[in-house]
Structure 1
Amino acid sequence: MRFLFTTTPGFSHTVPLVPLAQAARLAGHQVLFAAGGPALRAATEAGLTAVDPAPGEDLTAPYIRLASTAIGEELSVEYVMRQVFGAFAEIGDMMLPGLTRTAREWRADVVLYPPMLPAALVAARNAGSLAVEHGIGLRHPVFPLGDGAAAAEAGGQRPLPDVELSLGPESLEKINPTAPADAVPYDVVTMRPCSYNGGGVLPDWALSAPKRPRVLVTLGSVPAHNDTQVGLLREVIRGALGLDAEVVVTSGGSDLAGKLDVDDERVRLMDAFLPLGAVLPTCAAVVHHGGMSTMFSALAAGVPQVVVPTTKGDALTNAQVVAERGAGLALDPAGCTADTVGEAVRRAVREPGFRAVSEVVSAELAAMPDPSDVVEQLARRARAHRS
């Protein structure tokens, strides 16, 4: 069978799809990844064969514009979500012609895409492929199509996927405010989210247990977020140091050492990429921006979280779910000081309930169907779809 994976040009929207792509390839199926920008690089660095569906187009432009304009504290959730929908619709319109052409010419049996790229669903329908919406974390509401994708809808009706792959465990989806309220008219298949965060060279200290509690701090993989949140990072670092912790700060490619001006042997500023899944098992807590990949990596490792949602949308939802489930705490970035962060980190590290709940969710994740099992389900469905 031929599995065509595609995604938006963001690194964090790519890595959740890699485990299933690898599983399909290991099972003997043909796998192709269609993506642009950082997503194309993430796919090829994972050893996958990839194509650019929109050569000559700057797929990252709407994404970068969104990252730099949707982080203001004064912005409403409604305004930010309009920006989110508009940016991803624009990306989908740029990718649609190439996705359709690739799916047809490569004769894709299955097209897999994240919820924010419904243009790929249109491409799958136009190519006669099985359309699979591949979750990247908690379940999402339906994203609107761009003008170009809407005009290309088969039969003038909005198509629906044949299958949705959900990575969210039941205990989180029950409290997920963005999960569809009603039953959907297609099958929802659950799959274990794997804590794959890309490859990288680990420093020699990363795998050993530290002398002090190790607190990992990250604001994600988008440089614009790190560049505009230097003040917040300083407060987070000061707060964690109040616990006498070892603080590991990762970036999205920003020069943190030059911006933060931190002179303390307990702080490790990592300008190079650091795969979170490999470091989290040695951590006492993680402070992060509310990204899906970071949240699920922490849950898989059973590590308590302090979520400081620096954007509105997914980050707010993730912070709410983590706090309500009892796997960590949520802080309002507008009121973040060294004192408030320090108190939250102290509680996450020293109150055993947060780690206990995180370990329960970790066991729940581990019990979900493996990507190799899901591959065979999809292959059977694709054969039936073609017949």
Structure 2
Amino acid sequence: MRVLFTPLPASSHFFNLVPLAWALRAAGHEVRVAICPNMVSMVTGAGLTAVPVGDELDLISLAARNKLVLGNGVAFDEGRRPELFDELLSINSGRDMDAVEQLHLVDDRSLDDLMGFAEKWQPDLVVWDAMVCSGPVVAQALGVRHVRMLVALDVSGWLRSGFLEYLESKPPEQRVDPLGAWLGAKLSKFGATFDEEIVTGQATIDPVSSWMRLPVDLDYISMRFVPYNGPAVVPEWLREPPTKPRVCVTRGLTKRQQSRVAEQWEGEAQEQAMVETLLRGAAGLDVEVIATLSGGEVREMGELPPNVRVHEYVPLNELLESCSAIIHHGSTTTQETATVNGVPQLILPGTFWDESRRAELLADRGAGLVLDRATFTEDDVRRQLARLLDEPSFAANAALIRGEIEENPSPHDIVARLEKLVAEGKNRRAGKSDGHL
């Protein structure tokens, strides 16, 4: 079968799709990845075939200007409060729709390019990033099967189900669905109509641990998270075992990309100060600290302690095989890579999407600890890191979770499920053409 992937053009989102794309190729299926032109090399560097669509897009700069779409610390424990949806309704129907459209990549240029390619190539399946609605729009218009791919907790599905409940509570004349109307207009251009599958998929591939899953009534396909950090070379120093406990301190690729647009990224100076606090706090112990930072970030910090080694880039999965702990900002890719390596984690969660929620859930399982962004100090870092290293329960619980993950279906294992989904779709269309359905 032919499978078309439509990732969000950010490294963490694309890297999340790569193991499944490889699994499909290894099973003999054709794979194409539709991406904005300036991200083509990221796709080809992963050994996959890219299809440029739309205009060049600086996603990080766009995200820096518009935090709404990425979420801003959703308070899950407070429930889906009506005022949350009042705010979403106001925003999504107002002045910010242009930014929403750009981030969901359903602008007319990219959508036309994607449809033009898909009409000629005729995919059997579209696998779309949960933040890229052009994928399901094209799939719906062509009548092909499509599945959504998560890169974090299903905040989109959680919010959408709550929003629909919220609309039901309103009088009929007040039941306005800006997202449905907006996507419906895009679909009408191709003679198709909107349904909820455009937002939540005909099925949802979930690579995040199922015990973290939000309570949403959808068809989820669990898939083991397989780390991919991009093309990499294992440096010589990493081939030798550490002489002291090794601790990784990282912001992750996305956070570092954000720093490149610091003039647009609100609070970047504060983020830099937090990283320095993490580094100096960790260095207060008798450990080897490996920090993945850019030269510019390091220059801002001045002289660092002698047990801190800074590298522009180290493949995270390979590095964590030798680490006793990791300190990071809570991105899904970083947290899940540490989890599959059984490494205890000290997390300073960011304010986007689900970062705080995932950090808290990991701490509840006894495999990590969480720092308070508003109050943490070097002493807090040193004390919490010492607990992770000295108390055996953290490593034991991290190993337990790693074992659970290894029991989940691999990308290879779910290929058959996707083949069945496509076959069912073809049978349904054949039945309709014969007048039986």
Q: TM-score range by the shorter chain?
A: 0.7 to 0.9
Q: Trace 1:1-387 onto structure 2 (pairs within 5 A).
A: 1-36=1-36, 39-54=39-54, 57-61=55-59, 63-67=60-64, 70=67, 77=74, 87=99, 89-91=101-103, 92-94=105-107, 95-142=110-157, 145=179, 149-153=183-187, 154-160=192-198, 161-173=201-213, 179=214, 181-184=215-218, 187-222=219-254, 223-226=256-259, 228=268, 229-251=271-293, 255-271=296-312, 273-387=313-427
2:52 partner letter:
D
Closer, same or farther: CA 221–86 of 1 in aligned 2, 3 Å: farther
Deviations 1:296-323 (A, max 9, x none): 0000000011111133322122222221
Closer, same or farther: CA 2–115 of 1 in aligned 2, 3 Å: same
Partner SS state of residue 333, structure 2: helix
1:88: Cα distance to partner? 5.2
Partner SS state of residue 389, structure 2: helix
Partner SS state of residue 252, structure 2: coil
TM-score by length of 1: 0.87
1:93 partner letter:
V
- Partner in structure 1 of residue 78 of structure 2: none
CA RMSD of aligned residues (A): 2.7
Name the CA distance, whole Å, in 2 between partners of 1:347 and 1:313: 28
Closer, same or farther: CA 38–215 of 1 in aligned 2, 3 Å: farther
Verify the 8 A CA contact 1:89 1:117 in the aligned structure 2: no
Verify the 8 A CA contact 2:280 2:305 in the aligned structure 1: no
1:257: Cα distance to partner? 3.0
Verify the 8 A CA contact 1:25 1:31 in the aligned structure 2: yes
2:360 partner letter:
Q
1:351: Cα distance to partner? 1.4
1:148: Cα distance to partner? 5.4
Closer, same or farther: CA 200–102 of 1 in aligned 2, 3 Å: same
Name the CA distance, whole Å, in 2 between partners of 1:37 and 1:52: 5
Verify the 8 A CA contact 1:304 1:348 in the aligned structure 2: yes
- Partner in structure 2 of residue 176 of structure 1: none
Deviations 1:268-301 (A, max 9, x none): 1112x32111110111111111100001000000
Closer, same or farther: CA 35–225 of 1 in aligned 2, 3 Å: same
Q: Where does structure 1 differ by over 4 angstroms across 4 or more consecutive aligned residues? A: 68-71, 75-80, 82-88, 143-148, 224-227
Partner SS state of residue 221, structure 2: strand
Is the deviation greater in 216-225 or in 286-295?
Answer: 216-225
Closer, same or farther: CA 330–52 of 1 in aligned 2, 3 Å: same
Is the deviation greater in 346-355 or in 294-303?
Answer: 346-355
Give the greater-gyration-radius structure (CA).
2
1:133 partner letter:
R
Partner SS state of residue 126, structure 2: strand
Name the CA distance, whole Å, in 2 between partners of 1:38 and 1:324: 41
1:147: Cα distance to partner? 7.2
Structure 2: gaps of 5 or more residues:
75-83, 161-178, 263-267, 428-437
Name the CA distance, whole Å, in 2 between partners of 1:309 and 1:156: 36
2:64 partner letter:
A
Partner SS state of residue 368, structure 1: coil
Name the CA distance, whole Å, in 2 between partners of 1:212 and 1:49: 43
Verify the 8 A CA contact 1:286 1:306 in the aligned structure 2: yes
1:202: Cα distance to partner? 2.5
Partner SS state of residue 130, structure 2: coil
Is the deviation greater in 242-251 or in 12-21?
Answer: 242-251
Structure 1: gaps of 5 or more residues:
174-178
Name the CA distance, whole Å, in 1 between partners of 2:292 and 2:181: 38
Is the deviation greater in 145-154 or in 208-217?
Answer: 145-154
